[in-house]
Structure 1
Amino acid sequence: MRNRIIVIAAIVLIGFWFGVRANRTVIKQSKGETARKMWNDPHARKSRKKLGKKIAKAAKKHR
């Protein structure tokens, strides 16, 4: 009897898990949209700005 309850509980949990996962929407983005989001990311902008300053400083130094 105990084994039967454990098996039923396991089946219920697995069914619940699949049910929860089934209604998730899949959002597909184009590569262009992904690239635009990465380009407009504030952290990426800041790092590009820092890199630009670093390159300008190095170019000024080597003249």
Structure 2
Amino acid sequence: MVEADPIADEHGVPFLIVYGISGNTHRFWSIANARQKIGYAPEDDSQVNFADRIAAIARAARR
């Protein structure tokens, strides 16, 4: 849980659920609200960090 400035939306909902995930190039969850509302800024992109391993797994899967 993160304490933040008031974040009620236009409907008065006083909480926000955000995804705190890495900044993956091809992520399928949006982190736009986390960036905007609580200043979330991921430091890593696991796709870049594990590119060699991902490529090896993909090559093995093609065999």
Please give the TM-score of this superposition, normalised by the length of structure 1.
0.29
**Comparing both structures, which one devotes a greater share of its residues to helix?**
1
